[in-house]
């Protein structure tokens, strides 16, 4: 990510990168596990599967900005261009919301 962060596929094999495409998962989550911490730059992306939720990616950012979150989501989307999640759940973060709306324009973000 232009030297500003690290993106991982969460240990998921290439054939199963985005399980929602094969399992029909409709809800996806982006969350930072250490909310309220000023240096919170670790994010996870999880999808609903037939056995619960599975982390499909994690990324570490230099700063929590719309541009950096969007770049990570665009890389994730490029791994499987057919993946168009209908719903994303996020913390109330304008940077996360705007990044998702830009990367996945048809996606709904219930608040």
The CATH number given to whatever domain includes residue 46 is: 3.30.420
Q: What range defines the domain where residue 83 resides? A: 5-103
Label residue 101 exposed, middle or buried (CB < 10 Å: 0-12, 13-18, 19+): middle
Q: Rounded to two decimals, what is the model's pTM? A: 0.70
When mean pLDDT is compared across 21-25, 80-84, 100-104, the lowest value belongs to: 21-25
Give the integer Cα–Cα distance in Å for 46 and 58.
9
Q: How many domains does the chain have?
A: 1
Residue 111 lies in a domain: no
Residue 81 lies in a domain: yes
In the predicted structure, residue 63 carries a pLDDT above the cut 50: yes
pLDDT at 36: 60
Tens of pLDDT, residues 85-100? 888 888 888 988 899 9
Residue 52 lies in a domain: yes
In the predicted structure, residue 67 carries a pLDDT above the cut 90: yes
């Amino acid at each position: 990510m232009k030297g500003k962060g690290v993106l991982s596929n969460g240990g998921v094999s290439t054939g199963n990168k985005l399980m929602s495409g094969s399992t029909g998962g409709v809800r996806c989550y982006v969350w930072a596990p250490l909310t309220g911490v000023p240096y919170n730059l670790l994010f996870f992306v999880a999808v609903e599967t037939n056995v619960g939720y599975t982390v499909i990616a994690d990324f570490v950012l230099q700063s929590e900005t719309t541009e950096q979150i969007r770049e990570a989501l665009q890389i994730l989307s490029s791994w499987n261009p057919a993946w168009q999640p209908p719903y994303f759940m996020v913390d109330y973060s304008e940077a996360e919301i705007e990044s998702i709306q830009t990367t996945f324009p048809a996606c709904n973000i219930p608040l």
